[in-house]
Amino acid sequence: MNETKPKRRDFTSLWDRPGFLIRRLHQIHVALFLEECSEFNITPLQFAVLTVLYDRETLDQVTIANQIGADRNTVADVIRRLERRGLLERPASVVDKRAKLARITDEGHAFVEAVQPKMIDAQRQLTVPLDREEYEVLMKLMRKLILENYDASRAPMRPGVLQADG
């Protein structure tokens, strides 16, 4: 084979910058998700919130933010929109007067079930180019980077959550 350059990590071209590729992948995923779910008018983050509330638990905003690895304020916005659509309720906590809880409604529950197959289509379409082994390798490496850069983002997921879901 022709031995090309040793190829150390140089980052000169945009296509040699992991951050650049990750940004593009993120754009593409969001675009695919929105396209597949266009009939439901739902976003990836909104669906993630509904996913953690699907089993009818009643959680506060911070817990939800930690479980989906999102910013506290962003989650507050998302919850506001989902409540406006009647997919969530927001009961006040009786034990902690600061906390404003969130719980899925029956409508929200049915909504998740309706959207689920489309969400899966979006995930599948993004990754169809990969065979089984490539897929597993990619997922493994991405999980590794997320766990090792655990405290980089302002919305780090808690160890408990990692163990529960990972």
Partner DNA sequence: TGTTAATAGGTAGTATACTACGTAATTTAT
Partner DNA sequence: ATAAATTACGTAGTATACTACCTATTAACA
Where along the sequence are the contacts to DNA (CB under 7 A)? Answer: 23, 26-27, 30-31, 43-46, 60-62, 70-74, 76-78, 81, 95-101, 153-155
Which of DNA, a copy of itself, none is residue 88 near (CB under 5 to 8 Å by kind)?
Answer: none
Question: Would you call 40 exposed, middle or buried from its count of C-beta atoms within 10 A (0-12, 13-18, 19+)?
Answer: middle
Q: What's the gap between Cα 136 and its chain centre?
A: 18
The pattern of x and - marking residues 33 through 62 that bind a copy of itself according to CB under 8 A reads: x-x--------xx--x--xx----------
Q: How far is CA 72 from CA 17, 67, 75, 79, 160, in A?
A: 29, 11, 5, 11, 18
CB of 74 to a copy of itself, least distance (A): 10
The pattern of x and - marking residues 86 through 115 that bind a copy of itself according to CB under 8 A reads: ------------------------------
Helix axes 18-36, 106-127, angle to 10 degrees: 130
Please tell me whether residue 153 binds a copy of itself under the rule CB under 8 A: yes
Which of DNA, a copy of itself, none is residue 98 near (CB under 5 to 8 Å by kind)?
Answer: DNA
SS (H, E, C) 2-58: CCCCCCCCCCCCHHHCHHHHHHHHHHHHHHHHHHHCHHHCCCHHHHHHHHHHCCCCC
Kind and range of the H or E run holding 145? helix 132-148
Which of a copy of itself, DNA, none is residue 87 near (CB under 5 to 8 Å by kind)?
Answer: none
Q: Which of 56, 72, 80, 143 binds a copy of itself (CB under 8 A)?
A: 143
Residues that bind a copy of itself (CB under 8 A): 7, 9, 11, 13-33, 35, 44-45, 48, 51-52, 67-69, 119-120, 122-130, 134-139, 141-146, 148-149, 152-155, 157, 165-166
